[in-house]
Chains A and B, each alone.
Chain A
Amino acid sequence: QKEVEQNSGPLSVPEGAIASLNCTYSDRVSQSFFWYRQYSGKSPELIMSIYSNGDKEDGRFTAQLNKASQYVSLLIRDSQPSDSATYLCAVNDGGGNQFYFGTGTSLTVIP
C-alpha cells in the first residue's frame, strides 16, 4: 500500500510570513508529485507539480523535491489570508496513473 504522509496541522502563520508544508511518501518508484489546495466545501485545485529533484518556483509558491529522502515540500511566501485552506500532497507512480493523496495540512493565515 503506497502511503503519503502529511502533518495534519492545523498550521497557523501570520500574514506575510512563509508557510512550510511537508510531505513524505513510501514508494520509491513514485515519479510525479503534486500539491493541491482545497478550500472548505470545494474540490481540490492544482497548485504545483514537480518531477525532478530540486526546487520549482511559481509566483509565491515553491515546491521542493528530494527523491532520495522521499520528501516533497511546499513553501508559500508572503502568506495571505486567502491562502487559508487545506493543502493536499499527491504522488503518482506514472505507470498505473493512480494518484495517492495525503490527508492534507490545514493552513490558517492570520491577518
Chain B
Amino acid sequence: SAVISQKPSRDICQRGTSLTIQCQVDSQVTMMFWYRQQPGQSLTLIATANQGSEATYESGFVIDKFPISRPNLTFSTLTVSNMSPEDSSIYLCSVEEAPALEAFFGQGTRLTVV
C-alpha cells in the first residue's frame, strides 16, 4: 500500500489563526481525501482533493474555512482557517488505491485550538 506522510502530527494553535496540514504520498494517486474525526466520533469527510481543479466539499464544509490545494498527484494540503475551539479534532488525509479502492490513511494531525 501507499506510504502516506502527514504533518504536523499535532499542534496547539491560538483561536483566530490558521494551520496548514500537509499530506505526501509516495506514489501518484488520483483521489485524495480529507477527513475530520472529532473526539469519540467516526470519520467525517471534509472534501475530495482533485488534481488540477478545485476540491469538492461535503455538506457543512466550505472552501473559505478549509481551503485545499492539490498541486500534483502526490501532494495535498488542508488549511484550517480562522480557528475556533470547535475545530479541535484529528484531521486525516486518505488515498484510495486501485483496483480494490481500499482507503489508506496518513498518521493524522491532532489539532487543539485554545
Contacts and interface: CB of A to CB of B under 8 A. Distances in A.
The main secondary structure of chain B at its interface with chain A is strand
A99 interface: yes
Contacts, number: 47
Interface in A67-107: 88, 90, 92, 94, 97-99, 101-104
Interface string B85-103: 0000010101010001111
B12 interface: no
A88 B43 contact: yes
B53 interface: no
Interface residues of B, number: 22
A62 interface: no
Contacts of A94: 101
Interface of B: 1, 31, 33, 41-43, 45, 48, 90, 92, 94, 96, 100-108, 110
Interface of A: 32, 34, 41-46, 49, 88, 90, 92, 94, 97-99, 101-104
